[in-house]
Structure 1
């Protein structure tokens, strides 16, 4: 008898049921691919479970190789609702289970305290809320998947496909993972979340002087970002302006302006026909090579690659 890998799909309150069913199907397909392999591979056993005795289906009395926290529809789980499940997850992790989350499932995983001091990701729309609620976690919302060995987090709502393939690769090997991705017409894991996210500036920080500058920069498309001009707009001394701007927005004024320019460049690449050099000039870069470098750093794709993938 070969080894059996037990994967638990956690049905916590608000969990997205379509992701639970989709993961069950993905692992079912992977199990079928593994069964046809010339060498003996582990068998997959997938169960739905809950760490909360009041939530059905109840937790089966088995040890799991991995427990997956699917996305949530609506607001992330509250600390009060999370606590009984978080205790169970900590116990399972202590007994050797790998814990993995998708999208807002990271909030439940973070409630265990196991992510403190560790890297993690969640959906970019939740990044600010997550960072405020769990300041000890090293959040990186640009990444679609962060694999910390015993803890895995996936970002976007549909990134359960990437996480599922990542676990297939871990437990059944790359050949089974690749064939499973081909059957499902999915890209193998390796995408980055930042290619899909747009810049959403933080505006609710309460610093009126900095908010005034943000509105002015937005109207100018980030083209005017000289420090003396920005500080004068805010009515602040330059060093004070730099400190308050970064505290309020989480970015330097230079980085903020670059992201405004890149946002506009995304639109032009997606919906227009202008050459990349012309777009660079239009969004405020005299040097097209510098524009390409900044665009790639922010988005994770070159302007040409972005247009090829997203052009309408």
Structure 2
């Protein structure tokens, strides 16, 4: 083997998704294979290690793909876990270890809920990150100093790299291959694994999950009303009347309860319904727009593209089942 050894450590904290751990190992092995051709003499190779806390609370190396090599990891990755709560109670030994590594110049990376341990260690304060779209609100609420961009698949902030949903370990892995071995090796690795190298957004996979547990009965009454046919024709005056409040009072209380202006909330509800119609019916896009409350199909297309990240027609081609 020629070239320098570039170590990527994977942290096996409690609840970690082993499929991602082994999948990352396979992805980096493929990248090494792509980098092994004679004309790439001198290109580095990726070494994969696993790290875990022992009974004494010391984080130690428990696996090494190249045990004969010396050195320490240049990057440590927190893979995803199926239970985000695992990151909330991560042993202090892990948090202290991560803080020491980061302080010594090691790049830290996370996938999905793996961002929570980094935030708990105070390492994400003032930084821009991403996580699974369904966890973004909770991450932002628990750690208000962190700027969360749930629409992004990967956020490379230099010494901190975060990736979105559970399967975004492929995106993170390819981003690290690009950084350590170059874009050509990353492209060849992606081609061999038959995965997309350039996924930038997870908005098209996300869904709007409104808050119903805020305790404001008047606002809740309007939310339930909007989930039905009122969605298509609701106006600010109609919503305020339904709540039994003046418009200014309704605006203030609705935003406090849901985190959104009534117009923004209605857009989310309408686009959610439009996605269902695009996925499961053969209605034209103009018909879908009309059914969810847009009399101007052009305006519908603009709102849909802004919230989902792709145009309605592209969304149907990717996720629609009625035409298959």
Q: Distance in 1 between matches of 2:56 and 2:20?
A: 21
Report the TM-score when normalising by structure 2.
0.91
Question: Map of 1:132-281 to 2, 5 A cutoff?
Answer: 132-220=141-229, 222-281=231-290
Unaligned runs of 5+ in 1: none
| Distance change >3 Å, CA 124–CA 244, structure 1 → 2 | same
SS in 2 for 1:46: strand
Q: Distance in 2 between matches of 1:204 and 1:220?
A: 22
| Deviation string, structure 1 residues 242-268 (Cα, Å, up to 9, x no partner) | 122112111111111011111111111
- Contact 1:104–1:122 at 8 Å: present in 2 too? yes
| Deviation string, structure 1 residues 164-190 (Cα, Å, up to 9, x no partner) | 001101111111001100110000033
Number of aligned pairs? Answer: 312
Q: Distance in 1 between matches of 2:48 and 2:122?
A: 26
1:47 corresponding residue in structure 2: 49
CA RMSD for the aligned pairs?
1.9
How far the C-alpha of 1:131 sits from its partner, in A, is 2.2
Runs (4+) off by over 4 Å: 51-57
How far the C-alpha of 1:155 sits from its partner, in A, is 1.2
SS in 1 for 2:90: helix
1:294 corresponding residue in structure 2: 303
- Contact 1:213–1:233 at 8 Å: present in 2 too? yes
| Distance change >3 Å, CA 248–CA 54, structure 1 → 2 | farther
- Contact 1:109–1:115 at 8 Å: present in 2 too? yes
Deviates more, 1:31-40 or 1:257-266: 31-40
User: Is 1:21 the equivalent of 2:22?
Assistant: yes
How far the C-alpha of 1:79 sits from its partner, in A, is 3.9
2:125 corresponding residue in structure 1: 116
Q: Distance in 1 between matches of 2:220 and 2:226?
A: 10
1:285 corresponding residue in structure 2: 294
SS in 2 for 1:219: coil
- Contact 1:82–1:111 at 8 Å: present in 2 too? no
| Distance change >3 Å, CA 285–CA 80, structure 1 → 2 | closer
Q: Distance in 2 between matches of 1:37 and 1:297?
A: 47
SS in 2 for 1:104: helix
| Deviation string, structure 1 residues 86-123 (Cα, Å, up to 9, x no partner) | 11111101111111111111111111211111111111
Q: Distance in 1 between matches of 2:91 and 2:78?
A: 12
Report the TM-score when normalising by structure 1.
0.94
Q: Distance in 1 between matches of 2:302 and 2:175?
A: 30
